[in-house]
Amino acid sequence: MSLKEYRKKRKFRKTPEPKGRIKKKKGNIFVVQEHWATHHHFDFRLEMDGVLKSWVIPKKIPQKRNIRRLAVQVEDHPIEYADFEGVIPEGNYGAGKVKIWDKGKYNLISKINKAIKFELFGKKLRGTYMLLKFKDKNWLIFKL
C-alpha cells in the first residue's frame, strides 16, 4: 500500500485535498464522491489496508439490482479523503467540484483477486454489492 502515486499527482500547496497518510488502525468506511471534473463522474472508495481503494465510475452507481456499471480503478487515496469536499482549483489534477454523495460503513463479505463482495450501509447505497475485475484496471460494480 502506498500513497506515492496519489501524492505525485497533486501539489498540496495548490489543492485543498488532504496529503494524508496510511492508517494503521483497521477501519471499514466507504464513500462516494460526486466529481464535476472534465467529465462528471462518481468516485467510489473503500477503506482497505489503511488506504481508500478507489474507482472512478462514469455513470451513477446502481441502487437497484443487476445493473452493471464500469468502475475504473485509480490510485489509492488516504483515509482522510473520505471527508473531502470542495473545489480543486483549475490547473490541478482533477480540477472541479467534489461533493460527498454517500458515505457510511461497510462489511467485507469476501475478497479474492478479481472479486470483492461487500455490504454497504450508506444512506443511498445499501445492500450487497460486488466489484468484479475483468481487464487491467477495469471492473464492474453491481448490486446483488
Residue ranges that bind Mn ion, judged by CB under 5 A: 35, 43
Q: How many C-beta neighbours within 10 Å does residue 142 have? A: 18
Strands (E), 49-125: 51-57, 69-77, 86-88, 96-112, 115-121
Task: Decide whether 35 or 69 has the Cβ nearer to Mn ion.
Answer: 35
Residue with cell 490510485: 75
DSSP 102-115: EEEEEEEEEEETTE
Closest approach, Cβ 30 to Mn ion, in A, equals 15
Name the closest residue to Mn ion (Cβ): 35
Give the angle subtended at the CA of 60 by the CAs of 30 and 91, to the nearest 5°. 80
Cβ proximity to Mn ion, 96 vs 127, nearer residue:
96
Q: Minimum CB separation from Mn ion for residue 65, in Å? A: 26
> Which is nearer to Mn ion, 35 or 143 (by Cβ)?
35
Q: Give the shortest CB-141-to-Mn ion separation in angstroms.
A: 15
**Of 43 and 76, CB closest to Mn ion:** 43
Nearest to 39, CA basis, from 70, 78, 77, 79: 70
Q: How far is the CB of 112 from Mn ion (least distance, A)?
A: 27
